């Protein structure tokens, strides 16, 4: 019998990681990315001394959620699966080799991919942002896509 999410949420989550690893990781990564973006926007608003009625840039949060779900999770799942199968073990040597390949090969390739995809999503969502702003749903002054603070995620 599978564990109940209400009785033991951690055991339920671990079971889902075993039975549906990609789906579980995609949902988890999307939730973490979206939540992280909302937290980032809150921190930036506080630093700028904005009032507590700060309006969130929901399109930005959606972009990070989509990237977390459909780019980060499957890519990282595949990469670390390959890395662990090709360089198994817990010795210092194995760990250092994995660290070298992760930081020396994967990170320099994945980081620009992530930023490029974020830029593409920003450009694709620009017309939708304008419609939302015209309707008055998200009429905050910080909806500036050239603001470097947006990328301190």
Residues 89-113 have pLDDT tens digits of 999 999 999 999 999 999 999 999 9
Buried b (16+ CB within 10 A) or exposed e, 83-119: beeebeeeeeeeeeebeebeeeebeeebeeeeeebbe
Residue in this structure with the two tokens 């937290």, named with its chain if needed: 39
For the chain, the average pLDDT equals: 87
Residue 120: pLDDT band by 50, 70, 90 thresholds?
very high
The whole-number pLDDT of residue 126 equals 80
Who's near 79: CB < 8 A, 6+ residues apart? 102, 106, 110
45-79 pLDDT, tens per residue? 988 886 566 789 999 999 999 999 999 999 999 99
Identify which of 75, 73, 67, 41 has the alpha carbon closest to the alpha carbon of residue 120. 67
Q: Give the closest residue to 61 by CA, choosing from 3, 136, 142.
A: 142
Stretch 126-151: mean pLDDT: 57
Rounded mean pLDDT, 131-153: 53
């Amino acid at each position: 019998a599978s564990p109940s999410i209400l009785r033991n949420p951690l055991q339920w989550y671990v079971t889902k990681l075993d039975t549906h690893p990609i789906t579980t990781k995609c949902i988890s990564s999307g939730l973490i990315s979206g939540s992280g973006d909302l937290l980032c926007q809150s921190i930036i608003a506080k630093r700028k001394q904005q009032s507590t009625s700060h309006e969130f840039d929901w399109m930005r949060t959606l972009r990070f959620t989509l990237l977390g779900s459909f780019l980060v999770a499957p890519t990282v799942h595949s990469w670390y699966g390959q890395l662990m199968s090709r360089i198994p073990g817990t010795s210092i040597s194995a760990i250092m080799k994995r660290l070298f390949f992760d930081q020396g090969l994967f990170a320099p390739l994945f980081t620009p991919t992530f930023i490029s995809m974020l830029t593409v999503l920003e450009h694709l969502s620009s017309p939708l942002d304008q419609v939302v702003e015209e309707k008055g749903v998200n009429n905050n002054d910080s909806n500036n896509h050239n603001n470097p603070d947006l990328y301190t995620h």
